[in-house]
């Protein structure tokens, strides 16, 4: 029997309801090899361990991010990828890391707290003893009553968070009915951009400015209604540029601890605290970086065309960012390993990008797209724009792939339906015209390049993991990550070997006001 004989998947017979007009040539023997390698010989959990437990949190420009990036670069280069590099995309700002955080109630009794300083905040400059001051102010006028009283105090806004037990499970997989609804979705009319609208500045922002000016010690935040049962959701400030001052120390607590402190203080019980927070800034190198590496194409006519996969490597500071987004980075690295294990050549160049600055606004992928393909502010296209085939992204947690979002690119529907067909038994069948936002495929879509995000089971993403202290290795699901890496590798193979690049939508108009 001849090896690697291309076999045509005749989906027009098996899926007549999709109205497929053109049959994709899918090499089922290669699909089987990808399945075997990805599902039986996976290294995805080893990769995830190195990106999480061994690297630590991966806040952009932090030592943890660079440890993970160095590991990824070395791994990719070791597998024979070319031009593996930690690639600057433009100025980001200051690096930041938390070196110590001790917060405890000392009166009316002792209780240590699970407390997480927001990123890019300053510290306490040693152990401090302080009292709680409750600030009851709904607007700037009411806040003036506290002027002159904030020095050396720990501030708590009078905003009790009502806890309501949920009777829904933390983890969830999509039901068939939910996926069917996605598949039937129709394109949505584009919405207009919302301007500032003359909204008043939040009291919390005004209080922070007053507190910093008067020498208050810190502000306690509740972490929103999601922060309960030991899970604390905490992010950071947007003030991280090289010229920005250190942000006022804002510490996030779970709502149980926050409410306890607030109730005691409002009842007239003096609440005293011990606090020792040490943070460190890095200002020598303000550049932002991505990890980039290539498997060069070999077809004389198609080798300069690019099929790209990617995920953001950065996280927030409260944990090791396992599901947001070491999971995505791990499966993309694993997908490259699977493809390299095949021992075959690819028509197009396959490129991986692991981004920084996603959590601050897709900065790494935007910077890469701007310098490589086009600037959305002007839509002046660079030569590689025409050579680009497609970009595939993972950034929705540990849940397995259930299908793919078309990003309103209807011309790709039948193509992706056929590419998913060999993996129907793995639960991946749905193709929806809808888009999921807030991640790096949008950087490509913004300049008219085909960029796609896969549909994933949500698992615990919003309830437990997303930007929380619980986003750690233990919340990864090994079988799901194996499935993701296998399907991504297959999509990359199909795109790299296809006779034509993937279809594109109409080129967007320049957006000089906001660019991306």
Report the distance separating Cα 308 and Cα 475, nearest Å: 27
Nearest to 417 by CA among 6, 5, 10: 10
> Which tokens is 437 given?
């936002």
Q: Specify the pLDDT at position 202.
A: 87
pLDDT of residue 190: 63
**Per-residue pLDDT tens for 230-283?**
999 999 987 999 999 999 999 999 999 999 999 999 999 999 999 999 999 999
Q: Comparing 190-194, 197-201, 208-212, 291-295, which segment has the lowest mean pLDDT?
A: 190-194
Domain ranges of the chain: 7-92+286-497, 95-186+200-282
Tokens 């601890």, located at residue: 257
- Domain covering 95-186+200-282 assigned CATH 2.40.50.1020 in the classification: no
Q: Specify the range with the lowest mean pLDDT, choosing from 179-193, 336-350, 374-388.
A: 179-193
Under the banding of pLDDT at 50, 70 and 90, the label for residue 194 is: very low
Stretch 157-182: mean pLDDT = 93
Q: How far apart are CA 386 and CA 221, in angstroms?
A: 48
Mean pLDDT of the chain: 93
Residue 437, pLDDT score: 85
With CA atoms as reference, report the closest residue to 333 among 292, 362, 388, 366: 292
Q: Which residue has the higher pLDDT, 166 or 433?
A: 433
**Are the C-beta atoms of 436 and 462 separated by less than 8 Å?**
no
Q: Are 376 and 368 in contact (CB under 8 A)?
A: no
Helix H, strand E, coil C: the string for 6-52 is CEECCHHHHCHHHCCCCCCEECHHHHHHHHHHHHHCCCHHHHHHHHC
Q: What is the pLDDT of residue 67?
A: 98
> SS3 helix, strand, coil % of the chain, rounded to 5?
30, 20, 45
Taking the C-alpha atoms of residue 334 and residue 485, their distance in angstroms, rounded to an integer, is: 6
Q: Tell me the C-alpha distance between 359 and 191, whole Å.
A: 23
Average pLDDT over residues 209-238: 94
Locate 370 and state its tokens.
């701007």
Q: Hey, how many other C-beta atoms are within 10 angstroms of the C-beta on 31? A: 21
Contacts of 175 (CB under 8 A, 6+ apart): none
The rounded percent of the chain whose pLDDT value lies above 90 is: 88
Residues 6+ apart with CB under 8 A from 168: none
Tokens of 391: 């970009």
Query: Is the pLDDT confidence value at 494 over 70?
Result: yes
Residue 102: other Cβ atoms inside 10 A: 14
Integer Cα distance of 399 and 472 in angstroms: 14
Kindly indicate the confidence band of residue 85, based on its pLDDT and cuts at 50, 70 and 90: very high
Query: Ramachandran region of residue 70, left (φ > 0), alpha (ψ -120 to 50) or beta?
Result: alpha
Average pLDDT over residues 117-134: 97
Q: Please name the residue that has the structure tokens 């006028």.
A: 141
What angle do helix axes 413-420 and 478-497 make, rounded to 10 degrees? 130
Which among 132, 116, 121 is positioned nearest to 248, based on CA atoms?
121
CATH topology for the 7-92+286-497 domain: Aminopeptidase (3.40.630)
DSSP output for 463-507: IIITTBTT-SGGG--HHHHHHHHHHHHHHHHHHHHSSSPPP--PP
Predicted local distance difference test score (pLDDT) of residue 198: 56
129 pLDDT above the threshold of 50: yes
Question: Distance (Å, rounded) from C-alpha 294 to C-alpha 132?
Answer: 55
Provide the whole-model pTM: 0.93
Determine the Cα–Cα distance for residues 159 and 88; give it in Å rounded to an integer. Answer: 43
Distance of CA 278 to the CA centre of its chain: 27
> How high is the pLDDT of residue 513?
74
Q: What is the pLDDT of residue 7?
A: 39
Confidence category of residue 18, pLDDT binned at 50, 70, 90: very low
* Cα distances (angstroms) measured from residue 53 to each of 68, 238, 278: 10, 26, 22
User: What was the pLDDT predicted at 191?
Assistant: 53
- DSSP, residue by residue, 310-347: EEE----SSS--IIIIIHHHHHHHHHHHHHHHT----S
Predicted pLDDT of residue 237:
81
- Predicted local confidence at residue 33, as pLDDT: 98
pLDDT confidence of residue 21: 54
| pLDDT, position 195 | 43
Mean pLDDT of 11-18: 37
pLDDT for residue 238: 78
Residues contacting 326, CB < 8 A, separation 6+ = 48, 51, 52, 58, 68, 313, 315, 320, 476
């Amino acid at each position: 029997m001849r090896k690697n004989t291309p076999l045509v998947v005749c989906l027009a017979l098996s899926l007549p309801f999709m109205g497929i007009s053109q049959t994709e040539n899918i090499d089922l023997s290669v699909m089987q090899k990808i399945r075997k390698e990805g599902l039986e010989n996976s290294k995805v959990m080893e990769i995830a361990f190195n990106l999480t437990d061994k690297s630590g949190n991966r806040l952009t420009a932090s030592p943890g991010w660079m440890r993970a990036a160095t590991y990824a670069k070395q791994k990719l280069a070791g597998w024979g990828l070319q031009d593996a590099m930690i690639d600057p995309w433009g100025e980001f700002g200051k690096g930041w890391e938390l070196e110590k955080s001790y917060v405890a109630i000392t009166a009316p009794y002792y209780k240590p707290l699970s407390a997480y300083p927001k990123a890019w905040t300053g510290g306490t400059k040693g152990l401090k003893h302080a009292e709680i001051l409750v600030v009851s102010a709904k607007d700037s006028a009411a806040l003036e009553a506290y002027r002159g009283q904030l020095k050396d105090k720990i501030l708590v806004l009078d905003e009790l968070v009502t806890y309501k037990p949920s009777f829904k499970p933390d983890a969830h997989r999509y039901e068939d009915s939910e996926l069917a609804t996605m598949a039937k979705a129709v394109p949505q009319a584009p919405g207009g951009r919302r301007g500032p609208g003359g909204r008043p500045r939040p009291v919390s922002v005004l209080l922070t400015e007053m507190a910093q000016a008067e020498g208050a010690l810190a502000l306690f935040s509740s972490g929103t209604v999601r922060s309960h049962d030991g899970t604390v959701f905490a992010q950071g400030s947007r003030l991280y540029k090289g010229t920005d001052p250190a942000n006022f120390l804002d510490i996030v607590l779970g709502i149980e601890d926050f409410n306890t402190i607030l109730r005691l203080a409002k009842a007239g019980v003096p609440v005293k605290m011990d606090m020792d927070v040490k943070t460190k800034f890095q200002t020598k190198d303000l550049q932002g970086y991505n990890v980039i590496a290539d498997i060069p194409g070999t077809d004389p006519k198609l080798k300069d065309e690019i099929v790209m996969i990617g995920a953001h490597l950065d996280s927030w500071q409260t944990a090791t960012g396992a599901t947001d987004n070491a999971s995505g980075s791990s499966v993309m690295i694993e997908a490259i390993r699977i493809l390299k294990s095949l021992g075959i050549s690819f028509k197009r160049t396959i490129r991986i990008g692991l981004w920084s600055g996603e959590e601050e606004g897709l900065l790494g992928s935007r910077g890469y797209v701007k310098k490589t393909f086009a600037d959305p502010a002007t839509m002046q296209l660079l030569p590689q724009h025409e050579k680009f085939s497609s970009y595939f992204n993972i950034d929705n947690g540990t849940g397995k792939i259930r299908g793919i979002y078309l990003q309103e690119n209807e011309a790709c529907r039948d193509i992706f339906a056929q590419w998913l067909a060999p993996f129907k038994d793995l639960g991946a069948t749905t193709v929806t015209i809808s888009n999921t936002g807030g991640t790096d495929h949008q950087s490509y879509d913004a300049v008219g390049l085909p960029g796609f995000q896969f549909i994933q089971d949500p698992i615990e993403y919003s309830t437990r993991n997303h930007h929380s202290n619980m986003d750690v290795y233990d919340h990864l699901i090994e079988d799901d990550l194996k499935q993701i890496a296998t399907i991504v590798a297959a999509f990359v193979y199909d795109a790299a070997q296809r006779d034509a690049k993937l279809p594109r939508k109409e080129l967007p108009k320049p957006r000089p006001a906001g660019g991306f």
